[in-house]
Amino acid sequence: MRQTIVVTGAAGFIGRNTVSALNARGQRDLVLVDDLGLDDKWKNLRGLDFDQLLPIDQLAGYLESSEAQAVQAIIHMGACSATTERDADYLAANNYRYTVNLMKWSVAHGARIVYASSAATYGDGSLGYSDSDETTPRLQPLNMYGFSKQMTDMWALRHGYLDSVVGLKFFNVYGPYEEHKGDMRSLVSKSYRQVRDTGRITLFRSHRPDYADGEQKRDFIYVDDAVDVILYFLDHPQVNGLFNCGTSHAATWLDLTGALFQALDTPVQVDFIDMPESIRDRYQYFTESDGTKLRAAGYSKPFRPVAEGVREYVDAFLSKELA
């Protein structure tokens, strides 16, 4: 019998890398879901092996068809990931209600579902970064993107769906195939050409006295490590709940940029500019995944340190694709 996996956001960043990893495991019966639009996001699908490609608005019809009887899992990475998106109604429909409907369908039909939440749900971090069910209701996201993910997590928690589905709170993911994200892509992707061509990089100054310029910290996770977490939960349907997906080791922006300069064998030269006032009150100065729950769930693989991940990204992808 056919065993189909549906991947939403399949031409996007994490989705594309997930499809590649599934192909590497021999999985070809894949239904990819994404809107390709008029830009070059379609190029992310090159080299992938799949059965069908559907636009987002056709997924509901597909799931109502007889073909959907073969669906064993949905990996739901599709969402608007722009933290600067201001259309709250769009985010509520696209990130919240869409995900809720997929959870309902999956549980009703006995299919596995792993969906993307976000570390943006943690807001300013004052409540810490625990993914415990006790902490989740208390979180106060700083932007509508984070709130759309928080609404989804809360719905799943309130209605008991976290007993049978998995939500992953992704921290700062970086790696191949993120270029289509524009301003939302990682600093490594944004700055590769600048560092290569000029030997310099630009960072935001700190506007808090407790953080020096460039010493703001984030939990940076290489995309292959994030995909490994997704596949772990795909393979272990008995393990469910809301989990952080980060390294549990925060690194500074200077650590990240230093790794990029090192990968390009270039002396570090950093220029600092003021952070735009429009984002100062919504800027996260520190994020670090609490990995206790993930490790207790049986996930044991190590995560790449920033220097290793950036080096791999530059050598295996950026130096070839952004030549």
Residues recognised as catalytic: 145, 181
Q: Are strands 270-273 and 4-8 parallel, antiparallel or unpaired?
A: unpaired
Q: Are 314 and 264 in contact (CB under 8 A)?
A: yes
Residues 99-137 as b or e (16 or more Cβ within 10 Å = b): bbebbebbbeeebbbbbbbbbbbbbebeeebbbeeebbe
Q: Are strands 52-54 and 30-33 parallel, antiparallel or unpaired?
A: parallel
Q: Which helix (H) or strand (E) holds 222?
A: strand 220-222
Q: Are 211 and 284 in contact (CB under 8 A)?
A: no
Q: Which helix (H) or strand (E) holds 63?
A: helix 59-64
R_g over Cα of the chain: 19
Cα 59 from chain centroid (whole Å): 21
Tell me which residue of 288, 286, 215 sits closest to 247, measured CA to CA: 288
Question: Residues with Cβ < 8 Å from 89, sequence gap 6 or more?
Answer: none
